[in-house]
Amino acid sequence: MGFYYFDYRAFMWMLPAILFSAFVQFKVQATFSQYSKVRCLRGCTGAAAAQAVAAHGGVLNISVRPISGNLTDNYDPRTNVISLSQGVYGSSSVSAVGVAAHEAGHSIQTAQGYLPNKIRTAIVPVTRFASQLSFPIILVGLLLPTQYNLVVDIGIALFSIAVLFQLVTLPVEFNASARALQALDATELLTQEELSGARKVLTAAAMTYLAACFSALLQLLRLLLIAGSRRGNNQ
């Protein structure tokens, strides 16, 4: 009952995060689309940029491969492979080069042992486990009598691990972008005007992680308030 009773309040509570996330998604798509139409003067493709940025950071054994999807770009530290989406791998646009360089920034973090990145990588398995179980456990706990509040607390503790992951992700993503932009400037793959465009693309993309973190923190605070309210009713 308690879980559903808070539905309306939950929507109002999460509304700022919902609106912020919607704005960020719009901004990312609009910015990426804008600079996808701007071709790099030096004709560098996303794949070439990833290789060059990684090499600039001392990563010489990197592999870059194309994958399907839109903005599905990622770096896998287990295999040292950068996967670039179809609109990035072979494109010579400012957006493509910026996104590819960002993923190469992650490879440099791994090679240089960047501490926040090491922490994030270490907690990935437990985060997946916690994310899958947290809300089912919380729901079960809220359906049980109030003397079983410990079940709710366990669910909230698991969700807190997912929130921690979001918090650790922020410096990792911002740092990867900073490394990418520094390398693009040092290697002169982009002109200064193009570099400004790439910075806008990466800044907009980084805001998606900020929005996710903001949403997770609000959700955690809401859950803590619900748990506190149940304890108050049980006294």
* Count of domains forming the chain: 1
Report how far apart, in Å, the C-alpha atoms of 98 and of each of 63, 65, 76, 83 are: 18, 16, 18, 14
pLDDT in tens, 13-57: 678 878 888 998 899 999 999 999 999 999 999 999 999 999 999
Average pLDDT over residues 171-175: 97
Vertex 116 angle, CA 154 and 88, to 5°: 105
Q: Give the pLDDT band of residue 6 (cuts 50, 70, 90).
A: very low
The mean pLDDT of the chain is: 90
Q: What's the average model confidence in pLDDT over 106-121?
A: 95
Q: Which residue numbers are catalytic?
A: 103
**What is the spatial distance between Cα 111 and Cα 98, in angstroms, rounded to a whole number?**
20
How many other C-beta atoms are found inside a 10 Å radius of the C-beta of residue 128? Answer: 13
pLDDT-derived band of residue 1, with 50, 70 and 90 as boundaries?
very low
The domain of 143 spans 2-234
Write the pLDDT tens digit of every residue in 193-217.
Answer: 999 999 999 999 999 999 999 999 9
Task: Judge if pTM exceeds 0.85.
Answer: yes
Pick the more confident residue, 15 or 75.
75
pLDDT(188) > 60: yes
Backbone phi, psi, residue 85, to 5°: -70, 170
pLDDT band at residue 8 using 50, 70 and 90 as cut-offs: low
The tokens describing 190, both together, are 């982009």
Find the mean pLDDT for residues 86-113.
Answer: 96
Residue 228: pLDDT above 90? no
Judge whether 149 and 231 are in contact, CB under 8 Å.
yes
